[in-house]
Structure 1
Amino acid sequence: MSSYFHERDLGHPYYVANADTSNIGANGGIYNWAGRGYPDVSANGANYRMFTNLTDYHYYGTSLAAPLWASVATLINEDRALAGKGLIGFVNPTLYENAWAMKDIMNGSNPNCGSSGFAAVEGWDPVTGLGTPDCPKLLRLFMGLP
């Protein structure tokens, strides 16, 4: 990772615990509140259907959400290539500067590991990051960049 992005990310107000650490898990939770927050983005990783040997399975988890994000980035890169533009590259700075291009998730939580976890709230949160992809808005954002 380049030092430019590392320094920029660490200085972003959404990455660091606030002064009274009220943006961390219950009773301190299981969270590195002295460092960078996670995740940056999210996607629905629930109830994905897959057929194997003619059997309908339903899967859950982050291993489903990550490829969804990769697919969104690939589709945007394809449209940019058709327009003679380069790849979108490291998207975090652009997403944090343009959170309007994301679908903010404001309800739900992630209880686990003996903790009540984190609550999804307006804006960045440790459950959903900036939110889920709003594909038309993301495409408009990235097509508008050089």
Structure 2
Amino acid sequence: MKKRKAVGEVIAVALLLVVTAAVMTVVISYSNDQIFSERQTATEAIEKSRKRIQELVSLIGISANSGSMSVELLNYGKEIITVEKVMVDGTPTPFSIQKSDGTPVGTTLPVKELVNLQMPTTGKTVQILTTAGNLFDFSA
């Protein structure tokens, strides 16, 4: 009887060790995933911050006529800026961007070139959100 009890205790301890090892494996694996994901996130945050610092835009002028607005801008930063969204008085609006000679440039603000941002609406403020996360706010 004592022998059976001892064998039962050994089996119970062995099962406890197996369960503990399995749980620890899952916990360590999850921890490694978390550490890796946070490291990746920090790297991405540094890169995004670097891009945001290099985005510099100057307002040259704003004009409004017959229900539309034109905003003349100069990107004097170091990189081409991609515009994600344009808002007039906080409301998203369609937009187009052209060089001063009328050549369309898509959604970008080229470096050291005057561009016109055209919108089919008017308002008091124009906000430009870039893909790097900068928000430029200009008042008419």
TM-score (norm 2): 0.21
Point out the structure with max Rg over C-alpha.
2
Of structures 1 and 2, the one with the larger relative CO (CA 8 A, separation 6+) is: 1
TM-score for the superposition, normalised by structure 1: 0.20
